[in-house]
Amino acid sequence: MSLLNLVKGLFSSRERGLYRYRSGMARAKRKDYPGAIVDYTAAIQSLDPSSDVMAMALYNRALAYSAIDQHDKAAVDLTQVLATPGLPENVKLAAEQRRERLRRRDRANDPA
């Protein structure tokens, strides 16, 4: 790979998306959930909507939203993950299980 191609690759939207995704993961590990959400959002905006990395950014952003009790936003992200074509079944299953836990939590907290 030539130096020129390497430099171009560093500035491609996929590379920027991957960088922000990894940064979001690092922030989430430090429990900086608002910072992680910012990074995951930037990754989502940079990546191809059908990419597995975008689906994982959505899934991880949902976890970060859930960690700061923004369950409605988490559910929206999980629904988007489930609508992403071509994802492995284990990823979809994890998203569906997480979304179901959010639904049960909401029903348990509903005073009706």
Distance of alpha carbon 56 from alpha carbon 61, whole angstroms = 8
Please tell me the predicted confidence (pLDDT) of residue 53.
Answer: 86
Which token pair is 39? 């990074």
Q: How many domains does the chain have?
A: 1
Please tell me the predicted confidence (pLDDT) of residue 47.
Answer: 85
Please tell me the predicted confidence (pLDDT) of residue 4.
Answer: 66
Distance of alpha carbon 97 from alpha carbon 111, whole angstroms = 24
CATH code for the domain of 100: 1.25.40.10
- 89: containing domain: 3-109
Distance of alpha carbon 46 from alpha carbon 12, whole angstroms = 9
pLDDT in tens for each of the 112 residues of the chain?
466 665 655 567 788 889 999 999 999 999 999 999 999 999 999 888 878 888 999 999 999 999 999 999 999 999 999 998 888 888 889 999 999 998 888 788 776 5
